[in-house]
Amino acid sequence: MTSAVIEALSLEQLIKAQACGLGFDLAGITSLGPVETAAAFETWIASGYAGEMDYLPRGAVKRRDSSLPVPGAISAIVVGLDYGGRSPTGPIARYARGDDYHDVMLGKLDELHEWLEAELGRPIAGKAYVDTGPLLERDLARRAGLGWFGKNTNLVNPEIGSFFFIGALLVDLELDPDRPFEADRCGTCRRCLDACPTGAFVEPRVLDATRCISYLTIELKGAIPEDLRAQMGSHLYGCDVCQDVCPYNVKFAQELREPAFAARAAIGDQDAQSIARDLLAMDDDGFRAVFKGSPMKRAKRRGIARNAAVVLGNIGDEGDVAALTLATSDQDALVREHAEWALNQIEARRSAG
């Protein structure tokens, strides 16, 4: 942009332009205050749909009012960073194939904060949040005009779909807010609801996380319920099905542009069976080395090995028997139990065939 154009832009326009320059795909501004979806969130937790995610009720008071997490904060600069919905579907959810999005997003938001202080020539009190604080970022994003709540509970943007992360920079700066996104563009479509492999949607926009494959493979620390294991299919970590079928993603999903989110070599373009075999064979040191700085470290080695055993139980063959048999002697009882289940599934298919 020329200096004349820059001078003609408002601070809000400059902020959004700078956000785009840092690589964000979406940027909007909203004022802080009472959060209209907080009551629904608390009802959702009270209904038991959060499962073992005991951290979610924490900070409830601050979550009800977005001006409370950062004292003095008045406005939120809300951003979206696409993670490549055009990448082929696979056993690892797209968001988890590369580097941890928390680190990538926070780095860019901190840069935005530094730019804002330099632009105004004074310190600006503020803090960046990406999925870790007492904030309902999805609510802020809708209020900042970035999209609407889809029936699959994801925020959907009419131009790029839903394969993007949401982050927010809260600042003690009075900024003119963007218009909230008021429309519901899902209409009568229910493809996401009908496509869910485990039937995790109680109703439109209400997800029972305890049945969601993402929860089962990432957040659940214990045994995966036996009645849900077969429905997991080849999903090793996370699930993109409800996004894959969304018409807005089918039409508008983007190619991956952020290098940090490119798939690691351990994942690459291998098939689910090959990846599951490799993951099941990893020890703790190997797992830490391969997945350092990855979102997948959240499930820890025991969780990943558990998931790999279930996948091999669903799609494995005689060639996986030796590895699964070895896993029945794993130091972790969780892995042993799932490996035994997988062997029984393979034997059942062999006998039936």
pLDDT tens by residue, 127-180: 999 998 999 999 999 999 999 999 999 999 999 999 999 999 999 999 999 999
Q: Give the active site residues.
A: 131
**Domain shared by 42 and 126, yes or no:** yes
**Domain shared by 75 and 140, yes or no:** yes
> Is position 181 within any domain?
no
pLDDT for 324-341, tens place per residue?
999 999 999 999 999 999
Q: Assess contact for 28 and 78: CB atoms under 8 A.
A: yes
Tell me what percent of the residues of the chain surpass a pLDDT of 70: 98
Give pLDDT, residue 7. 65
Confidence of residue 3 (pLDDT cuts 50, 70, 90): low
> Is position 324 within any domain?
yes
From the list 294, 306, 236, the residue with the least C-alpha distance to 265 is 294
**Domain shared by 214 and 102, yes or no:** no
**Domain shared by 202 and 167, yes or no:** no
Average pLDDT over residues 54-79: 96
> Is position 141 within any domain?
yes
Tell me what percent of the residues of the chain surpass a pLDDT of 90: 95
**Domain shared by 163 and 205, yes or no:** no
- Cα 240 from Cα 208, distance rounded (Å): 16
Q: In sequence order, what are the residues at sequence separation of 6 or more whose Cβ sits closer than 8 angstroms to the Cβ of residue 4?
A: none
Last-in-domain residue among 171, 187, 219: 171
Q: Assess contact for 309 and 280: CB atoms under 8 A.
A: yes
Average pLDDT over residues 272-285: 96
**Domain shared by 112 and 205, yes or no:** no
**Domain shared by 36 and 91, yes or no:** yes
Amino acid identity, position 75: S
> Is position 317 within any domain?
yes
> Is position 184 within any domain?
no
Q: What is the mean pLDDT of the chain?
A: 96
**Domain shared by 11 and 155, yes or no:** yes
**Domain shared by 86 and 208, yes or no:** no
Is residue 18 over pLDDT 80?
A: yes
Residue pointed to by tokens 């849900």: 228
> DSSP character for 297?
G
Is residue 6 over pLDDT 80?
A: no
**Domain shared by 30 and 112, yes or no:** yes
- Cα 22 from Cα 108, distance rounded (Å): 6
Average pLDDT over residues 62-71: 96
Q: Assess contact for 304 and 287: CB atoms under 8 A.
A: yes
Confidence of residue 89 (pLDDT cuts 50, 70, 90): very high
Distances (CA, A) of 43 to 39, 50, 200, 258: 6, 10, 17, 36
Confidence of residue 224 (pLDDT cuts 50, 70, 90): very high
**Domain shared by 204 and 161, yes or no:** no
Is residue 269 over pLDDT 90?
A: no
> Is position 21 within any domain?
yes
Enclosing H/E stretch for 27: strand 26-31
> Is position 246 within any domain?
no
Confidence of residue 270 (pLDDT cuts 50, 70, 90): confident
Q: Assess contact for 77 and 245: CB atoms under 8 A.
A: no
How is residue 91 written in tokens? 């056993």
Last-in-domain residue among 153, 171, 189: 171
Is residue 2 over pLDDT 90?
A: no
Q: How many domains does the chain have?
A: 2
**Domain shared by 216 and 140, yes or no:** no
Between the two ends of the chain, the Cα-to-Cα distance in Å is: 67
Is residue 4 over pLDDT 60?
A: no
The domain of 218 spans 198-238+264-348
In the sheet where 26-31 sits, what is the strand order?
Answer: 26-31, 75-82, 164-171, 126-129
- Cα 212 from Cα 224, distance rounded (Å): 11
Please list the alpha-helical segments (H only) found in the chain: 3-8, 11-21, 38-46, 60-63, 101-120, 137-143, 191-195, 213-214, 226-229, 241-244, 247-252, 272-281, 284-290, 300-315, 321-327, 333-352
